[in-house]
Chains A and B, each alone.
Chain A
């Protein structure tokens, strides 16, 4: 059961994405374009400073989920997943391999967004930059696993696209990204407590606006790590060796 081929699979995922130059260009350009538009729509710096933590958490979750979910589904629709599952690799090999492979690109994308936000959009923050980045790494790990997990329920790209608003919009509206959670009805606040983005937004706000450290946001970190482990287990369990039936 030891993941003997996880690094082999991760290496293959990396080589595959690196050879796809258009995708590589889009991974870099798209977040910059999106963040530029957001930056231009908030000419008053102080407003951008306040919403930056929620934006960074949302972008990390959104882009990582999107990259992984679509790529993983493509493996299945092209038949490469079937071939992989017919070999000696275990389900844990596959999930860890893809997690590692996609994680590197999701991390790169998140780092671009973070540096662009801080140095180009000139957002002010209080905490340490490295602590902000480490916190985002935990958000990405969960989002990558979520992408793998959700894509096992989609049979084609159209179905996967339908999952995107289903997964992301409730989190954006219920996790304090747009308006404070406290102003929502109690039952919506209760639902929000089960969504990972709430803890991503709360943790990044505490670090970036209040200057807290990673130790201070241990609870948010713990929830996000728990979410990552849970989605890993679920992705491993739902990944079928079989191809139907």
Chain B
């Protein structure tokens, strides 16, 4: 697994604004995410989390401001160093688990037959699907498809993982398993950026950014956010920032 220096910056977002027509999805948003940590983008639906991740992966371009990922403007040149897991499963449902993972390994510059085959097997075993490797994705449950999708994102050992709501629809046991995978990757120096709207996920992250209406309304470690607001849960801490923001606006 590729390691990265924790003092380096993995993602640098500077005053980014993005609109879908008249709807402002991101509003002068700035964030600096250090390498080697797990960073949670937390907020309700429509907060701008998916838009931000799509900007980081280069699928969208900011209308104003700048984005740098691993020191570069997001593009094809840097894409193979990023593992992207979209919100939809985004898998080839007729293909088998192994064929899906192998395809994403190939297009992410993992060449060399034997080495690639070894890495594909290792990744499928990691997500505990090796016995089902020859099954078509269409035959798998939702949770299994999530695991295949994760395998496709990590098969090429990227130093940065962008995971858009990776735990949505997972049962509590599988959610714990996913976070164990993420913790293992973190230990190997991989930077993980996870978007979520559930505060269960938030507790697993090293650092959080609470998002609402395309802005970051607060950021810090889970414990820091709780203690700063005097709340016992992250959900209450989030609501505290939302309400104090509304009071200030009024």
Find out whether the CB atom of B104 lies under 8 angstroms from the CB atom of A87.
yes
Find out whether the CB atom of B94 lies under 8 angstroms from the CB atom of A79.
no
The interface on chain A, measured as residues whose beta carbon lies within 8 A of the other chain's beta carbons, has a size of: 26
- Candidates B84, B93, B94, B95; contact of A86 at CB < 8 Å: B84
Residues of B with C-beta under 8 A to A20: 94
Residues of A with C-beta under 8 A to B60: 242-245
Find out whether the CB atom of B107 lies under 8 angstroms from the CB atom of A88.
yes
Find out whether the CB atom of B92 lies under 8 angstroms from the CB atom of A80.
yes
* Assembly CA distance A82 to B94 (angstroms): 18
Residues of B with C-beta under 8 A to A80: 90-92
- Candidates B54, B79, B103; contact of A8 at CB < 8 Å: B103
Residues of B with C-beta under 8 A to A17: 94
Closest-by-CB residue of A relative to B61 is A242
Find out whether the CB atom of B88 lies under 8 angstroms from the CB atom of A78.
yes
Residues of A with C-beta under 8 A to B93: 78
Residues of B with C-beta under 8 A to A239: none
Q: Is A84 engaged at the interface, CB distance under 8 Å to the other chain?
A: yes
Residues of B with C-beta under 8 A to A193: none
Q: Is A110 engaged at the interface, CB distance under 8 Å to the other chain?
A: no
List, sorted by A's number, 15 A–B pairs whose CB atoms are closer than 8 Å: A8-B107, A16-B92, A16-B94, A19-B136, A78-B90, A79-B88, A82-B90, A83-B86, A85-B59, A86-B84, A87-B108, A88-B76, A243-B54, A243-B59, A243-B60
Find out whether the CB atom of A245 lies under 8 angstroms from the CB atom of B20.
yes
* Assembly CA distance A12 to B99 (angstroms): 8
Q: Is A171 engaged at the interface, CB distance under 8 Å to the other chain?
A: no
> B101 to chain A: closest CB distance in Å?
12
Find out whether the CB atom of A79 lies under 8 angstroms from the CB atom of B136.
no
Q: Is A241 engaged at the interface, CB distance under 8 Å to the other chain?
A: yes
Interfacial residues of chain A within 5-35, with CB under 8 A of chain B in the complex: 5, 8-9, 12, 15-17, 19-20
Residues of B with C-beta under 8 A to A12: 92, 95, 99, 103
Binding site for B on A (CB under 8 A): 5, 8-9, 12, 15-17, 19-20, 78-80, 82-90, 241-245
Residues of B with C-beta under 8 A to A79: 86-90
- Candidates A8, A78, A86, A88; contact of B59 at CB < 8 Å: A86
Find out whether the CB atom of B99 lies under 8 angstroms from the CB atom of A15.
yes
Q: Which 3 A-B pairs have the closest CB atoms?
A: A79-B88, A79-B90, A83-B90
- Candidates B19, B61, B92, B107; contact of A87 at CB < 8 Å: B107
Render B101-121 as a binary contact track against A, CB cut-off 8 A, 1 for contact. Answer: 001101111000000000000
> A16 to chain B: closest CB distance in Å?
5
- Candidates B18, B88, B109, B152; contact of A88 at CB < 8 Å: B109
- Candidates A15, A83, A87, A244; contact of B95 at CB < 8 Å: A15
Find out whether the CB atom of A90 lies under 8 angstroms from the CB atom of B76.
yes
Most chain A beta-carbon neighbours within 10 Å: one of B76, B87, B109, B152: B76
Q: Is B37 engaged at the interface, CB distance under 8 Å to the other chain?
A: no
Most chain B beta-carbon neighbours within 10 Å: one of A8, A84, A86: A86
Find out whether the CB atom of A241 lies under 8 angstroms from the CB atom of B58.
yes
